[in-house]
Amino acid sequence: MKRLYLPLVLAVVLAELGLLVWLLAAIIPLHAGETYLQEDAAYRPYISGQDAGSPAVVITQWLFFLMTAGTLIPVGLIIAGELVRWGLGQRKRGRSLTG
């Protein structure tokens, strides 16, 4: 079974890559030399200034804020804890923290 592991993994990765390329080609049908007109690339905001205070927008903003904070705060605490652990380990070994 060990001899088949690498070819199997490569086959799965190549199949996923082929599927991804096929899906992207279907989603983004670009042809050689195709350009977009300026009006196609005009700025069109998803929400207007009047919609900024609507409950859906406020709830969405808070959800994204909470998801971002819920990711970054634990990561920051883990990094701070690792630095404290490293510093205590250096001190226990009798080395200075500066080098």
pLDDT digits (tens, 9 = 90+) for 25-81: 777 766 655 665 555 566 666 777 777 788 888 898 999 999 999 999 999 999 999
- Looking at residue 7, its pLDDT comes to 86
Q: 51 Cβ partners below 8 Å, 6+ apart?
A: 57
- Looking at residue 71, its pLDDT comes to 95
- Looking at residue 44, its pLDDT comes to 62
Among 16, 39, 20, which residue's Cα sits nearest to residue 28?
Answer: 20
Pull the structure tokens for residue 18: 């082929």
Q: Say how far apart CA 60 and CA 64 lie, in whole Å.
A: 6
- Looking at residue 37, its pLDDT comes to 58
Q: Can you say whether the dihedral through the CA atoms of 74, 76, 81, 82 is positive or negative? A: positive
